[in-house]
Amino acid sequence: MTTPTVPFRHLATLWIQVTGTWCNLQCAHCINSSGPTDPWLKSLDTRTVKRYIHEAEDLGVKEIYFTGGEPFLHKDILELLAFSLAVAPTTVLTNGTKITEAVADSLADLARKSPYSLEIRVSVDDIDPDRNDRIRGKGALAKAVRAIRLLYARGLLPILTATEILQAEMPEGNGMYDRFRDFLLTQGIAKPRVKIIPVFPIGRMAQEGGGLLTEEMLRGYDFSLLQCTETRVVADGGVYCCPILAGLKEARLQERGLKESLTSCRLYHTACVTCYQTGMTCKNF
């Protein structure tokens, strides 16, 4: 069977896997098996991140995302966010546990001074501490909610991001989006923002076998619905086609140059089927 490819259109979004797979939590559904010990994908150094942002600016990038691992473990994350915000709207994906009052103050200051918007996405999986912490670790929900409240109190509007891993345990008649929105309202967040994402068959949720995309499935398909047509990810080892597949050898397009990576991508992984079926995008909306 021939592996289908997706054509590249233009660079709209740059993802920076700034801490590789280094994270202070070890979530049960993590797409890249991040954790606190022996990260299989190393962090990026500050100079390398700035070089990629410079190159993305020259290529007309429209928005930049920082992810990991946990981005707030990087010693220069605030410096890197300031650098990125001089180029494009910037988002950080975080579990929220490292956002203290001092960090929240710094983020609010960056947002005020920047010509572009700063978005903070805080990940949780349930509003019930027992269910959430079963997935993310003891005390994770309380720390994430604290981060959301700290950010909101300083004028930022964090986006609560949740996976569908506990969807089967949700009460009937109350969808995930509504449940998280209502929860944020009870926390005093007058403008709640929620993003729900599917569970991907990769990382700690990897499955044996699984379906793959075929040329026949993609015949007549609108490729612009796939984020890899306008997204590139920089991580240890080079430039990759997708935030879900970052770090995997088969997804690597170039070892160094961003410009040289702007070519077609192979849709070789079972995770590609999830994007195809759901219209999933890793972006904020």
Comparing CA positions, the residue from 6, 10, 27 lying closest to residue 231 is 10
**How much is the pLDDT for 172?**
62
CA 101 to chain centre: 23
pLDDT, tens digit only, all 285 positions of the chain: 689 999 999 999 999 999 999 999 999 999 999 999 999 999 999 999 999 999 999 999 999 999 999 999 999 999 999 999 999 999 999 999 999 999 999 999 999 999 999 999 999 999 999 999 999 999 999 999 999 999 999 999 999 999 999 987 776 656 899 999 999 999 999 999 999 999 999 999 998 778 999 999 999 999 999 999 999 999 999 999 999 999 999 999 999 899 999 999 999 999 999 999 999 999 998
Q: Work out the angle between the directed axes of helices 77-85 and 101-113 (0-180°, nearest 10).
A: 20
Whole-number Cα distances in Å, 79 to 14, 85, 101, 106, 158: 17, 10, 17, 10, 20
* Residue 134: burial class (beta carbons within 10 Å; 0-12, 13-18, 19+): middle
Question: What is the reported pLDDT for 208?
Answer: 74
Angle at the Cα of 275 (from 35 to 198), degrees rounded to 5? 55
Q: Is 53 exposed, middle or buried (0-12, 13-18, 19+ CB in 10 A)?
A: buried
Task: Go through the domains of the chain in sequence order and give each one's CATH number.
Answer: 10-210+228-266 (3.20.20.70)
Helical residues (DSSP H) of the chain, grouped into ranges: 46-58, 77-85, 101-113, 129-136, 140-153, 176-186, 270-278
